């Protein structure tokens, strides 16, 4: 896929106020660690995640998404009258129906002519939302749009801790399947895209490629099983090792296709932003793709895995910290359970 008319007008993020360290989680799990002989410090040692952040208990994703989207729209400098779509793309939503996008659309004050839809695709929801908006802009159906999402991981992490503490038959293998759930954090991100003639930044979405390996769809699965766990907090089971290797294989194929579409070599890439999972995933993926780790901007150490908002949050934070210079070519490397991958190229012009 190639784009000729699509500009990235703004990236924005919102960080939750409450910081929870990996050490604190392990202190809560001390009875399990002691009974199974697990070494303290294993979460940070294995993943590089020293802390993650949570919103207040009971926070609805749409409430935070409205704040993030509103800031992104303002930062873009694009008048609301030009917006033709709002996509809400995180795993977390306010309810089954109506779409969380409806409340966010209303709160942001977008015109009634702008569609409001939810898109769900694990950790790729916001990137898929980018493509939907970009396609509509490229086709001339709309002139601007915003994709936004908010992940509220507190319930998953705290529910997993409770389940581990209250399962007397728990084994090391059981802990292994729940381990990825303890890496989850919370956050919010938004991206505004527009017709390049409206853009105040000049940053172009050049295109990219997508790929899938749906034979791996069972390697990471989450949801609510109230009967099993006794509450309505979500739980997730992950075969982390198998998911890692299947994901790296898919990433390699997708990156090869992305380079062909864009006409890039690895030497053309100035900066890389990836879906943030952990240090092992980061190193193995960049090694497989042949991209220098110095080009990447990691946030997983202090945010944890924030699902669909991880990649756009990293771009927003990196831009805010001056990690991207005008004229640089930027690669966005997205991957999510399922397995699905989307990799995109930007020509960055914002100062």
User: One of 12, 92, 123, 138 is an active-site residue; which one?
Assistant: 123
Q: Active site includes 123?
A: yes
Pick the more confident residue, 274 or 350: 274
DSSP E strands in the chain: the ranges are: 6-14, 18-21, 51-54, 83-88, 115-118, 144-151, 187-195, 204-212, 220-223, 235-238, 271-274, 329-336, 340-347
Asked if the peptide bond before residue 98 counts as cis, ω within 30 degrees of 0, the response is yes
Write the pLDDT tens digit of every residue in 56-86.
999 999 999 999 999 999 999 999 999 999 9
**Interval 129-147 mean pLDDT:** 98
- In this predicted structure, the answer to whether residue 164 has a pLDDT above a threshold of 70 is yes
**Interval 101-116 mean pLDDT:** 98
**Interval 183-206 mean pLDDT:** 97
What share of the chain has pLDDT > 90, as a percent? 84
User: One of 97, 227, 267, 294 is an active-site residue; which one?
Assistant: 97
Q: Classify 273 as helix, strand or coil.
A: strand
Run of H or E residues at 292: none
Find the farthest-apart pair of alpha carbons in the chain and give their distance in angstroms, rounded: 63
CA atoms of 44 and 4, how far apart (whole Å): 43
Q: What is the pLDDT of residue 227?
A: 56
- In this predicted structure, the answer to whether residue 34 has a pLDDT above a threshold of 90 is yes
Q: Active site includes 97?
A: yes
Write the pLDDT tens digit of every residue in 244-264.
888 899 999 999 999 999 999
Average pLDDT of the chain, as a whole number: 94
Write the pLDDT tens digit of every residue in 259-300.
999 999 999 999 999 998 888 889 999 999 999 999 999 999
- In this predicted structure, the answer to whether residue 145 has a pLDDT above a threshold of 70 is yes
Q: What is the pLDDT of residue 226?
A: 55
Q: What is the pLDDT of residue 230?
A: 67
Ramachandran quadrant class, 142 (left: phi over 0; alpha: psi -120 to 50; beta: rest): beta
Q: What is the pLDDT of residue 203?
A: 97
Domains and CATH numbers, the chain: 204-347 (3.40.47.10)
Q: What is the pLDDT of residue 340?
A: 95
Q: What is the pLDDT of residue 95?
A: 94
């Amino acid at each position: 896929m190639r784009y000729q008319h699509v500009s990235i007008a703004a990236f924005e993020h919102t960080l939750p106020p409450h910081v929870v360290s990996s050490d604190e989680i392990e202190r809560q799990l001390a009875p399990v660690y002691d009974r199974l002989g697990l070494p303290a410090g294993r979460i940070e040692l294995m993943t590089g995640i020293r802390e993650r952040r949570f919103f207040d208990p009971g926070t609805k994703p749409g409430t935070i998404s409205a704040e993030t989207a509103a800031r992104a729209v303002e930062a873009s400098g694009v008048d609301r009258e030009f917006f033709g779509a709002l996509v809400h793309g995180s795993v977390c939503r306010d309810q089954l129906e109506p779409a969380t996008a409806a409340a966010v659309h209303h709160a942001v004050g977008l015109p009634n002519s702008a569609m409001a839809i939810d898109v769900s695709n694990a950790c790729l929801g916001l990137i898929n939302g980018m493509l939907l908006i970009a396609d509509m802009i490229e086709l001339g159906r709309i002139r601007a749009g915003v994709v936004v999402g908010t992940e509220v991981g507190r319930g998953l992490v705290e529910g997993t801790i409770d389940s581990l503490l209250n399962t007397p038959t728990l084994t090391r293998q059981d802990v292994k399947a729940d381990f990825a759930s303890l890496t989850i954090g919370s956050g919010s991100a938004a991206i505004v895209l527009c017709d390049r003639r409206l853009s105040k930044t000049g940053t172009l979405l050049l295109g990219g490629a997508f790929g899938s390996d749906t034979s791996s769809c069972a390697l990471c699965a989450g949801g609510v099983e109230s009967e099993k766990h006794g509450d309505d907090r979500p739980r997730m089971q992950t075969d982390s090792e198998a998911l890692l290797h299947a994901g790296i294989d898919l990433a390699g194929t997708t990156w090869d296709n992305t380079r062909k579409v864009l006409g890039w070599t690895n030497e053309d890439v100035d900066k890389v932003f990836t879906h943030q999972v952990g240090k092992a995933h980061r190193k193995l993926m960049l090694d497989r793709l042949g991209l220098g780790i110095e080009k990447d901007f990691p946030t997983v150490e202090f945010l944890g895995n924030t699902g669909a908002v991880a990649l756009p949050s990293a771009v927003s934070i990196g831009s805010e910290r001056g990690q991207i210079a005008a004229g640089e070519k930027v690669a966005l490397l997205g991957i999510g359970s399922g397995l699905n991958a989307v990799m995109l190229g930007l020509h960055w012009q914002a100062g």
